[in-house]
Amino acid sequence: MITRPLDLASRLQKEPRNFDVLFYVNAGLLVLFFFLFGSRFVLAPGLGVDFRIPTLPGAAAGGAQTTSYISVLKNGQIFTNEGRLDIVQLREWLKAEAARYKQPAILIRADAAVTVSDLNEISSAAREAGFGQIVVAADPVRPKNP
């Protein structure tokens, strides 16, 4: 009985003897591309699981459509759609963002543990940059179920 009628194994090319150099060249190019074209989002911290927006009565009534948004963590980290910024970089980002729109409005999504002084500093920077409307995110208070 014939088990290999086409005898394909005899028609295959032989395996190359050594690909070690090519492997190291490829690995080196990958590392080079990660350094040259790396993103600030790669391995960057994000909003954690414990991020909670504060609750306020009547929060839904103060809702408005905004053109930009930022997220502020309790440890002072500020995130925009371009990544993490410090307060100096945030001031420049706010100026550039306000210049993009006719009537700029910003939404500040701050963690419930962010201090009022930090919120005030960010709001003042936004007002100086030209934002006409500044909205601080809050969840409405929900009635407790009996």
Read off the tokens for 92. Answer: 């420049």
Q: Looking only at Cα atoms, what is the longest distance across the chain?
A: 88
Q: pLDDT tier at 19 (50, 70, 90 boundaries)?
A: low
Closest CA to 68 of 99, 108, 106, 123: 106
Q: Kindly report the CATH class assigned to 55-140.
A: alpha beta
Cβ-contact 135, 64 below 8 angstroms: yes
State residue 104's pLDDT score. Answer: 92
State residue 122's pLDDT score. Answer: 92
* C-alpha to C-alpha distance for 128 and 93, rounded to whole angstroms: 12
What does each C-alpha distance from 139 to 46, 59, 72 come to in angstroms?
Answer: 21, 6, 16
Q: In what order do the strands lie in the sheet with 105-110?
A: 83-85, 78-80, 68-72, 105-110, 133-136
What does each C-alpha distance from 98 to 80, 91, 103, 127, 146 come to in angstroms?
Answer: 14, 11, 8, 10, 46
Closest CA to 109 of 46, 58, 30, 61: 46
State residue 10's pLDDT score. Answer: 79
* C-alpha to C-alpha distance for 139 and 51, rounded to whole angstroms: 13
Task: For tokens 């543990």, name the residue.
Answer: 113
State residue 30's pLDDT score. Answer: 85
Q: pLDDT tier at 13 (50, 70, 90 boundaries)?
A: confident
State residue 64's pLDDT score. Answer: 74
Q: pLDDT tier at 130 (50, 70, 90 boundaries)?
A: very high
State residue 126's pLDDT score. Answer: 93
Tell me what the mean pLDDT of segment 39-67 comes to.
65
Task: For tokens 């006719």, name the residue.
Answer: 102
